Structure 1
Amino acid sequence: MKDETMETQITRKERWAFGLAGLGQNMVYNYTTAYIMVFYTDVALIAPIAVGTLMLVARVFDAINDPILGNYIDRHPSPKGKLIPYLKAIPIPMFVISVLVYFVPDMSPALKLLYAYVSFILWDLMYTVSDVPYWGLSVTITADPKERLSLISLARILCNVGLAVSIVLPPLLIKLWGGGQQAYLLTAVLMASVGSLLFSLVGRHAKERIQANNQEPSSFKNLLQNKSLIILQSSRILQAFRMVIATAGLYFAKYNLQDEAQFSLLGGLLILAMILAMFVTPKLKKHFTKKSLYQASLVLGFFAHITLYFLGYHNAWVNYAFLFIMGLSLGLNDVLTYTMVGDCVDAYEQKSGLRTEGLSFAFHTFTTKLQSAFGLFFIGFLLDQTGFIENTLQQPKAMAAIFALITLYPAIASLLGMIPMVWYDIKEKRTQ
Structure 2
Amino acid sequence: MKTNNVPGKVSRREYLGYFSYGFGQCFSYGLLGSFILFFYTDILGISALAASTIFLIARVWDAVNDPMVAGFMDTRRTKSGKFKGYLKFAPLFVVISTILCFFSPDLAIQWKVLYAAITYILWGTVYTVSDIPFWSVSAVITNDPQTRTSLVTAANLGVFAGIGMVGSLVPLLVGLFGQESLADGYFMAVILIMIAGYAFMMFGATTIRERVEPSAGEKVTMKDVFRNLLVNRHLFKMLAIFFLNLFMNIVNGIILYFFIYNMGNEGLMSIYGLMGTFAALGFFLIPNLTKKFRKKDLLAGIIVLDIVVRIVFFMTGYENVPILLGMLMLTQLFHASLGPVMSSMIAETIEYSEVKTGRRCEAITFSGQTFMGKLSAAIAGSLTGLILIAIGYVPEAAVQSPGTLNGLFMVVSLLPVAGGLIRLVILRYYTYTEEAYKKDLAVLAQRRSAAALAE
* TM-score in terms of structure 1 length: 0.94
CA distance in 2, matches of 1:114, 1:41: 14
**What amino acid is the match of 2:315?**
F
Q: Deviation string for 1:255-298 (max 9, x for gaps)?
A: 2112111111133224422x232111112112111111111121
2:252 aligned with 1:246, yes or no? Answer: yes
CA distance in 1, matches of 2:164, 2:369: 22
How far residue 307 of structure 1 moved from its aligned partner, in angstroms, is 2.4
How far residue 108 of structure 1 moved from its aligned partner, in angstroms, is 0.9
Q: Does the aligned pair in 2 maintain the 1:3–1:210 contact within 8 Å? A: yes
What is the aligned partner in structure 2 of residue 356 from structure 1? Answer: 361
- CA 1:402–1:64 in structure 2 vs 1: closer, same or farther (change >3 Å)? farther
Q: Deviation string for 1:217-250 (max 9, x for gaps)?
A: 3332321210111111112224411233222111
Q: Does the aligned pair in 2 maintain the 1:57–1:373 contact within 8 Å? A: no
What is the aligned partner in structure 1 of residue 345 from structure 2? Answer: 340
> Structure 2 stretches of 5 or more lacking a match?
437-455
Which piece of structure 1 moves more, 283-292 or 402-411?
402-411
Aligned ranges 1:405-420 → 2 under 5 Å: 405-420=411-426
Which of residues 188, 191, 207 is equivalent to 1:189? 191
Which piece of structure 1 moves more, 110-119 or 241-250?
241-250
Q: Does the aligned pair in 1 maintain the 2:163–2:276 contact within 8 Å? A: no
Find the structure with the greater CA-based Rg.
2
CA distance in 2, matches of 1:89, 1:425: 39
CA distance in 1, matches of 2:159, 2:433: 28
CA distance in 2, matches of 1:345, 1:128: 19
Which piece of structure 1 moves more, 284-293 or 305-314?
305-314
Q: Deviation string for 1:15-49 (max 9, x for gaps)?
A: 22111111111122212221111111111111112
CA distance in 2, matches of 1:56, 1:310: 34
**What amino acid is the match of 1:207?**
R
What is the aligned partner in structure 2 of residue 272 from structure 1? Answer: 278
**What amino acid is the match of 1:5?**
N
Aligned ranges 1:32-431 → 2 under 5 Å: 32-177=32-177, 178=179, 180-213=182-215, 214=218, 216-217=220-221, 218-273=224-279, 275-392=280-397, 393-428=399-434
**What amino acid is the match of 1:296?**
G
Q: Does the aligned pair in 1 maintain the 2:250–2:383 contact within 8 Å? A: no
**What amino acid is the match of 1:311?**
T
How far residue 6 of structure 1 moved from its aligned partner, in angstroms, is 5.1
Q: Does the aligned pair in 2 maintain the 1:270–1:326 contact within 8 Å? A: no
Which secondary structure state, in structure 2, belongs to the residue aligned with residue 322 of structure 1? helix
Q: Deviation string for 1:72-122 (max 9, x for gaps)?
A: 111222343221121111122122111111112111111000000000111
Q: Deviation string for 1:161-193 (max 9, x for gaps)?
A: 222220111101111222511000001111111
- CA 1:64–1:260 in structure 2 vs 1: closer, same or farther (change >3 Å)? farther
Aligned-CA RMSD value: 1.9
CA distance in 2, matches of 1:216, 1:362: 16
Q: Deviation string for 1:129-163 (max 9, x for gaps)?
A: 10000110011111111111112222222333222
CA distance in 2, matches of 1:270, 1:78: 35
**What amino acid is the match of 2:97?**
I
CA distance in 2, matches of 1:149, 1:246: 27
Q: Does the aligned pair in 1 maintain the 2:78–2:84 contact within 8 Å? A: no
Q: Does the aligned pair in 1 maintain the 2:86–2:129 contact within 8 Å? A: yes
**What amino acid is the match of 1:56?**
L
Q: Deviation string for 1:392-429 (max 9, x for gaps)?
A: 11111222222222122211111112222222212316
Which piece of structure 1 moves more, 63-72 or 38-47?
63-72
Q: Does the aligned pair in 2 maintain the 1:239–1:417 contact within 8 Å? A: no
CA distance in 2, matches of 1:205, 1:43: 39
CA distance in 2, matches of 1:6, 1:353: 19
CA distance in 2, matches of 1:186, 1:239: 29
CA distance in 2, matches of 1:323, 1:421: 25
What is the aligned partner in structure 2 of residue 14 from structure 1? Answer: 14
How far residue 318 of structure 1 moved from its aligned partner, in angstroms, is 2.2
CA distance in 2, matches of 1:134, 1:63: 19
CA distance in 2, matches of 1:284, 1:190: 37
CA distance in 2, matches of 1:427, 1:25: 31
What is the aligned partner in structure 1 of residue 445 from structure 2? Answer: none
- CA 1:255–1:59 in structure 2 vs 1: closer, same or farther (change >3 Å)? farther
CA distance in 2, matches of 1:305, 1:375: 19
How far residue 61 of structure 1 moved from its aligned partner, in angstroms, is 2.2
* TM-score in terms of structure 2 length: 0.90
Q: Does the aligned pair in 2 maintain the 1:235–1:419 contact within 8 Å? A: no
Which secondary structure state, in structure 2, belongs to the residue aligned with residue 104 of structure 1? coil
How far residue 125 of structure 1 moved from its aligned partner, in angstroms, is 1.0
> Structure 1 stretches of 5 or more lacking a match?
none
**What amino acid is the match of 1:155?**
A
